[in-house]
């Protein structure tokens, strides 16, 4: 049982480059989330998706876009990376629509130079 899988685990980018962070869950969950975690800041919600085909902005959406490709997959895209986006990114999921996140992936550690 894989749970929530994130790829890549680590990535280094140059300012202005773009990339997509991948997330997939195999638990048939409806809701999926993207958070960023910065030292001493806790977690902050970037985007979430209550169900396939729907996405909504969280607390810190600027500079990011998301796609809920299907029920399993929820990707996060940085169109033009900035040093302020250096962070650890976590994808999460939960069973119901409107539930709080229950299962987290192991994170993507992203550095932008």
Decide if residue 25 touches other proteins (CB under 8 A).
Answer: no
Q: Which of 48, 64, 78, 112 binds other proteins (CB under 8 A)?
A: 48
Distance from chain centroid for Cα 58: 11
CA distance 61 to 55: 11
Decide if residue 92 touches other proteins (CB under 8 A).
Answer: yes
How many C-beta atoms lie closer than 10 Å to residue 105's C-beta?
22
Decide if residue 33 touches other proteins (CB under 8 A).
Answer: yes
What letters, b where the CB count within 10 A reaches 16 and e where it falls short, cover 31-41? Answer: bbbbbbeeeee
Decide if residue 110 touches other proteins (CB under 8 A).
Answer: no
The binding site for other proteins (CB under 8 A) comprises 4, 31, 33, 40-45, 48, 50, 56, 58, 90, 92, 94, 98-107
């Amino acid at each position: 049982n894989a749970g929530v899988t994130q790829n890549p685990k680590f990535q280094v980018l140059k300012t202005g480059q773009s990339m997509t962070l991948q997330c997939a869950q195999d638990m048939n969950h409806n809701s999926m989330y993207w958070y960023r975690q910065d030292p001493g800041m806790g977690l902050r919600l970037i985007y979430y998706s209550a169900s396939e085909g729907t996405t909504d902005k969280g607390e810190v959406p600027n500079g990011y876009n998301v796609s809920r490709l299907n029920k399993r997959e929820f990707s996060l895209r940085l169109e033009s990376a900035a040093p302020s986006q250096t962070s650890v990114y976590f994808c999460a999921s939960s069973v119901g629509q409107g539930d709080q996140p229950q299962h987290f992936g192991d994170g993507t550690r992203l550095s932008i130079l």
